[in-house]
Structure 1
Amino acid sequence: MTDRIFASSVFFRLTIGGDDLGAFHTCTGLGAQVEIEQFTEGGNNGFTWQLPSRVSWTNITLTRPVTADTTKVARWLDQIVRRVERKNGEIVALQPNLTVIARWQVLGIVPVSWQGPSFDPSTAQAAVESLEIAHEGLH
């Protein structure tokens, strides 16, 4: 799969609309919030019904040190700028030996932001990029 060595015990592979955007070291924001409506039933003072209503999905942010895969994100963003189209994708959590830990089908992905690397030769920190995506749900 890759000739890179990952220092963490887990990394994340991102694919959107069939385009492999490479491996990322962190993935945050896999989550949902369910709105609850309370309904009080006349004559029943013992409890209030808790009824689920809308589900909202949190944005997902993936980060990694700059690699050759950085150009894949730039190409994908260029396609989106030309024609915004929601596409389904997948995030796969992998161990360094490529064993799949978990996978999430991500529906209706659109980019929210991409933060390219800042290069500072006076520090020993790796140049890092981050990609934030919005979506319509996980499967």
Structure 2
Amino acid sequence: MSNAFPIPALSLTENPPVGCYFMVTFLIGGFLPNLLDIRFQSVSGISSTMETTEIREGGENLFSLKLPTRMTYGNLVLTRGMVVGSPLNVEFNLAMSTMSFQPGNVLVMLLNAKDTPVASWLFQETFPVQWSVSDLNADQSAIMIDSMELNYARLQSLRI
């Protein structure tokens, strides 16, 4: 009997992937990658939580049942050095100043040291909820940092 979903062989000599090699891709129209805005300093908010409803059975005081109801997601937070003339910044500015949103998809890929994807997460129907720029300070010569926060309707983990 053949296995329709072969399980890859695990090697005890391979180290787990590290989180410092990654790429973020904004998918224009949901499918075409925006190749100009792919470099980010950090990504956070890759999380999902199953909400539950508690059911108490009549006469049973030792335990209650918890049934799944819906998934909830945190916000995806992306930070990077400020990019002047970025199409993504133009899109964020338009959305935040006119309240005109066109939800899109964002693909985050974890890479190995050879730039080969080892895991991916697809964030569906994203839209901006916060955009901030680091503080201006005449006493420091630090790189300006853009922080972009996105809400998303669904998170799909894609293991490669």
TM-score range, shorter chain: 0.7 to 0.9
Partner of 2:71: 55
SS of corresponding position for 1:77: helix
Equivalent pairs: percent with the same residue?
21
More strand per residue: 1
TM-score (norm 1): 0.77
Question: Please, what is the CA RMSD of the aligned residues?
Answer: 2.5
Counterpart Cα distance in 2 of 1:123 and 1:36 = 48
Which protein has the larger Cα radius of gyration, Structure 1 or Structure 2?
Answer: 2
Contact 2:22–2:108, Cα closer than 8 Å, also in 1: no
Q: Which runs of 5+ in 1 are unaligned?
A: 1-7
Contact 2:26–2:104, Cα closer than 8 Å, also in 1: no
53-62 or 91-100: bigger deviation: 91-100
Q: Which runs of 5+ in 2 are unaligned?
A: 1-18
Partner of 1:5: none
Please list, as runs of the form range in 1=range in 2, the aligned pairs for 1:1-139 lying within 5 A after superposition: 9-17=20-28, 18-20=32-34, 21-67=37-83, 71-78=86-93, 80=95, 81=98, 83-95=100-112, 97-120=114-137, 122-139=139-156
If asked which structure has higher relative contact order (CA below 8 Å, sep 6+), I would say 1
SS of corresponding position for 2:38: strand
Contact 1:110–1:135, Cα closer than 8 Å, also in 2: yes
TM-score (norm 2): 0.68
9-18 or 57-66: bigger deviation: 9-18
Contact 2:24–2:106, Cα closer than 8 Å, also in 1: no
